[in-house]
Amino acid sequence: MAFRDLREFLAVLERTGDLIRIKTEVDWDIEAGAISRRVFEEKGPCLWFEKIKDYPEGFTLLNGPLGTWRRVAIALGLDPETPVREIYREYERRVERRIKPRIVDPSEAPCKENILLGEDVDLYILPAPMIHEGDGGRYIGTWDIVICEDPERGWTNWGMYRFMVHNKNFLAGWPQATSHLAMIMKERYLPWNKPMPVALVIGAEPLCHMAATAPVPPGENEAEVAGGLRGEPVDLVKCETCDLFVPAHAEIVIEGEILPDIIVPDGPFGEYPGYRSGTMGEGVAFRVKAITFRNNPILTMTALGVPPDDSSIAASLTAAIAMKKGLQRRGVPVTDVYVPPEGVTHLVIVGVKEGGQKVVRRVLEFFTARRVMVNKVIVVDKDVDVFDMGQVLHAFATKCHPGRGMLVDYHEGRGNALTPCYSAEERRRLKGAFVAFDATWPDDWPQELIPVKASFRDIYSPSIQEKVLSRWSEYGLEKFSSKGGD
Amino acid sequence: MAKEYLTFVRRFSDLNEGERELFIKDLTPGPRKYDTKLVRAIIARSPESLGVDADLLWVRSETGVLDPKPWGIKILEELPPYVSGRPWSDIFEVMKKKVS
């Protein structure tokens, strides 16, 4: 059964030892971010800061709801010890489902317990954290859901984009210029100089946030994807100031509009690739028209940076499965896709049933067809377990020809501005490159000339393997049996 | 006592002395710290050169690196806290054109 809201999820995290409440007063200005970052780097628990400097009791901060595979497993209702591969399988199965949301009356929506409208709007009543020293502002939207609508297609888009407090009733944000939000704004609102209604949701049930990170094709509603992941509908309630619908059990909802003719400075911000690499001053202005929130609101954040954190863990899952499905649609004989958290969705491992440069070329074409968020892919044969980076590295080191094993694509206007190795000029022009490393055997090599992998499984006949494994205990090697026997 | 503000530039060398419009963040401690304003102000590399009533302006680069030595600032006028421009435009370019 799905969690009704963030609070039910936190209760379980507390029981499993995956949440710590910090009761001592913590400063929203840098201190909460620094603690959170250090705990991420120690692969530690979700942190609930219960007493925030300058803010009344009950206004709390929460870092890292999905910052470990254990917490992702718990969010999916699985055993916390579920292996990553099985988490992938379960997510892959559920993400195919679509369950329409249920519309509820405002009286059933906890996010309406407090409503600030018009002149009463004041973002400073919320303890938005200054996460990293040197950031451009207080990022209230890091682990968020940003909702907007394409009125012509009837498409409601959920995405996760950064937004910082500009002043009491303006946010500055940076949904990438190639994002779905940007696509809708540019197609449906900018040509008519119309503001775009937007809702920024903080602290919804965790699978809703996971759905917001999922690369769902344009036109598909993430609310239905979230329902599929949960196995039951997401309760939605109508906004106070526009026709958008938001998760009714969210902790905080900020309603407003992105303006077509006004800008304010956003950034810089220590981002998900693990660097503050200079994306700044090219964002959007979000005028806030209403703030609604639960009693004792919990402001969720993620102190992004060097992996692991919520982004590198949860988003790598959602990205990997979306890529696998996309590659399958293109006819690539894919076995599995793994996005290692350490690769921060810049590096992806693709396993294929049959390799060779034609297949690798199709992999490259998939990753560079539209916006190019990934810049390196290693393609490996089916004998390599994509989840085992030791095997992947071995295949890369030995099978990728240093001259002809790299297929490179250069592009402009579609690159990922958050790629740290791009120059400032390249980032601004969304100019970049993509490389597919072919770590597969060429498809035109005769079978008898393909080097034989000198592994227990590959270089010995089944009869020898069977003989050795059956006598394993006799050799006195029981404690080393896990590798040889699986 | 001098107030302290913060501004961001792409490169430290982008900032020139004299009268200009710029976005600044108010560093006064409390729940409104980092509130952003657009102001017309006189700025100088040396705070002392603006007299005893000058405030301090800290400067960070586009990667958030802090210039260890603050500038001086005298605010002449507070403006509406935004500028005209299309979303995703380079706000520094917009500000430059506004001046010229």
From the list B25, B63, B91, which residue is nearest A278 (CB)?
B63
Helix, coil or strand: residue B19: strand
Tokens, residue B50: 């603006």
Contact A309, A33 (CB under 8 A): no
From the list B8, B62, B81, which residue is nearest A264 (CB)?
B81
Q: Using the beta-carbon criterion (under 8 Å), do B30 and A54 form an inter-chain contact?
A: yes
Interchain CB contacts (distance < 8 Å): A and B: 107
Please report which confidence band the pLDDT of residue B100 belongs to, taking 50, 70 and 90 as the band edges: low
Identify the closest residue of chain A to B82 by CA–CA distance: A264
Helix, coil or strand: residue A180: helix
For the domain covering A330-447, report its CATH number: 3.40.1670.10
Q: Using the beta-carbon criterion (under 8 Å), do A263 and B92 form an inter-chain contact?
A: no
Q: Using the beta-carbon criterion (under 8 Å), do B64 and A268 form an inter-chain contact?
A: yes
From the list A134, A166, A284, which residue is nearest B36 (CB)?
A166
Q: Using the beta-carbon criterion (under 8 Å), do A280 and B85 form an inter-chain contact?
A: no
φ, ψ (nearest 5 deg) of residue A25: -65, 135
Mean pLDDT of B75-91: 97
Q: What is the pLDDT of residue A480?
A: 84
- How many whole angstroms separate alpha carbon A302 and alpha carbon A307? 12
Mean pLDDT, chain A cut into blocks of 10 residues (486 residues total) = 95 98 98 98 98 98 98 98 97 97 98 97 98 98 98 96 98 95 98 98 98 94 98 98 98 98 97 91 97 98 97 93 96 97 97 97 96 96 97 98 97 95 93 98 95 96 97 92 49
Q: Which residues contact A403 (CB under 8 A, 6 or more apart)?
A: none
Mean pLDDT of B56-65: 97
Q: Using the beta-carbon criterion (under 8 Å), do A265 and B10 form an inter-chain contact?
A: no
Pick the residue of A263, A264, A304 with the most B CBs within 10 A to test the interface with B by mutation.
A263
Minimal CA–CA distance to A112: which of A301, A250, A296, A300?
A: A250
Identify the closest residue of chain A to B66 by CA–CA distance: A134
Q: Using the beta-carbon criterion (under 8 Å), do B82 and A182 form an inter-chain contact?
A: no
Q: Using the beta-carbon criterion (under 8 Å), do A265 and B62 form an inter-chain contact?
A: no
For the domain covering A6-301, report its CATH number: 2.30.110.10
- How many whole angstroms separate alpha carbon A288 and alpha carbon A171? 7
Identify the closest residue of chain B to A127 by CA–CA distance: B31
φ, ψ (nearest 5 deg) of residue A158: -110, 130
CA geometry: angle at A422 spanning A132 and A40, to 5°?
30
- How many whole angstroms separate alpha carbon A70 and alpha carbon A68? 5
Three-state SS across A263-320? ECCCCCCCCCCCCCCCCCCCCEEEEEEEEEECCCCEEEECCCCCCCCHHHHHHHHHHH
From chain A, pick out residues whose CB is under 8 angstroms from the CB of B87.
182, 185, 190, 258-260, 263, 283-285
Q: Report the gap between the CA of B35 and the closest CA in chain A (Å).
A: 5
Q: What is the pLDDT of residue A200?
A: 98
Catalytic annotation, pick one of A205, A271, A342, A474: A271
**For chain A, what's the residue count?**
486
From the list B35, B62, B84, which residue is nearest A280 (CB)?
B62
Rounded to the nearest 10 degrees, what angle do helices A357-367 and A316-329 cross at? Answer: 120
Element (H, E) at B60: strand B55-60
**DSSP letter (8 states) at residue A413:** S
Beta-bridge partners for A198: A256
**DSSP letter (8 states) at residue A217:** P
Contact A265, B36 (CB under 8 A): yes
Minimal CA–CA distance to A247: which of A53, A410, A108, A425?
A: A108
Average pLDDT, chain B: 96
Residue B8 pLDDT > 60, yes or no?
yes
From chain B, pick out residues whose CB is under 8 angstroms from the CB of A196.
none
Q: What is the pLDDT of residue A483?
A: 52
Minimal CA–CA distance to A60: which of A289, A298, A270?
A: A298
From the list A127, A190, A265, which residue is nearest B8 (CB)?
A265
From chain B, pick out residues whose CB is under 8 angstroms from the CB of A54.
30-31
**DSSP letter (8 states) at residue A188:** I
Catalytic residue at A271? yes
Residue B51 pLDDT > 70, yes or no?
yes
Q: What is the pLDDT of residue A482?
A: 47
Q: What is the pLDDT of residue A416?
A: 94
Q: Using the beta-carbon criterion (under 8 Å), do A285 and B25 form an inter-chain contact?
A: no
Q: What is the pLDDT of residue B1?
A: 84
pLDDT tens for each residue of A350-396: 999 999 999 999 999 999 999 999 999 999 999 999 999 999 999 99
Q: Using the beta-carbon criterion (under 8 Å), do A263 and B85 form an inter-chain contact?
A: yes
Q: Report the gap between the CA of A277 and the closest CA in chain B (Å).
A: 6
- How many whole angstroms separate alpha carbon A227 and alpha carbon A153? 21
φ, ψ (nearest 5 deg) of residue A159: -140, 170
Pick the residue of A262, A284, A429 with the most B CBs within 10 A to test the interface with B by mutation.
A262
Tokens, residue A69: 């595979």
User: Where do the structural domains in chain A lie, given as residue ranges?
Assistant: 6-301, 330-447, 452-485
- How many whole angstroms separate alpha carbon A236 and alpha carbon A293? 14
Q: Using the beta-carbon criterion (under 8 Å), do B91 and A54 form an inter-chain contact?
A: no
